[in-house]
Structure 1
Amino acid sequence: MTAPLTLFSNAMSRGRIARWMLEEVGQPYDVVYIDFGEQMKSAEYLAINPMGKVPALKHGDTIVTEYAAICAYLADAFPEAGLVPANRGPYYRWLFFGAGPLEAAIINASLGFSVPEGKRGQVGFGSIKTTLDALEFALTENPYLAGDSFSAADVATGSQIGYGLRFGTIESRGVFEAYWNRIATRPAHKRAEALDNAAMQERKG
């Protein structure tokens, strides 16, 4: 019998990425929505994630936090979903590129932080332009981040591209638009979006 899967999330958070991954995996799961603020910082939830943030995934007795780690874990836990390509190098590279340099560059830029002249070597992303150029290179070479097939890297890092295009936090480039349109039409993504959107409206009352 498969151990139960429970996602702790908020419909206005990176938990949406984890939910998309769960839909891609195709295994039964439950979602526990956690409100920002007091509930997310409660002793009960801090026992699950001491950072007091979402998402967090509980699979039997195993707890995984951080959206990229959740995507990687689920891909490995359920190999029958086919979300781990044979060539692991590009897969790992771009899976964690999204949670590392890309997210850092986007957040710094959106908050108006500028790396001082001569200090770019001290940050993992260098500059927003350098980061986006690297991402564009990957998507110019292949239809998906890890090569010819869709993988967990496209869920994790692809979501960062989708959010960036939607909210204007990354520069709109033709290759990004084409890539996002290609992966956003996946049935699992559509299901995940519909479920989280409905939950968000319900919790708003």
Structure 2
Amino acid sequence: MAISGRLTDKIALITGAGSGFGRASALRFAAEGASVVCVDRNADAAHSAADDIAAAGGTALALTADVSSAADAERMTTTTLEHFGRIDIVFANAGIPGSGDAHTTTEEEWDRVIAINLKGVWLTSKYALPHMVERRSGVIINQASVGGLIGIPGIFPYAAAKGGVISMTRQMAAAYAPHNIRVNAICPGGVYTPLVELSRQK
């Protein structure tokens, strides 16, 4: 990993950093010079990403957290601030698949997907935002999906969550622009990641 410098001295907190988009982003952010907090509910995966960054000459911290838990979300923010002193970038990437249509999706599946893919995105930023507002600086990236923009059969709870992320991002962008905080969502299409593989196995 050759370190360049576009993110030199930046502190980035990335959820779901143990695999897929999150891991690739963590490695890329580190390659651009950022110190990366690799958050994942799988401790081994979080440490693996952080270890790979360190082995390549970068700086990383591994944390285990469930983004749907307010206590965990607050703890990962507090730990990052204690370790690095600030947070410049938050990438709320953690997510799970969600299959079914309106009449087949169970209430349990709906609650599980919404808790992680929508509530978790909110909580990831909730505790970092006061720090960013105080500093009048920050970047928040929310992981949405093309599934939140167009109709795709068979992913009802996932689409609802990602559509919510898109609307939430618009509101956040308007609310925090006066504080010099940039909020954007990214909406990738189908990319073969462990999450996609998991959804195909169901």
**Shorter-normalised TM-score: what interval?**
under 0.3
Structure number with the higher strand fraction is 2
Structure number with the higher helix fraction is 1
What's the TM-score once normalised by structure 1's chain length? 0.28
Return the structure number with greater relative CO, CA threshold 8 A, min gap 6: 1
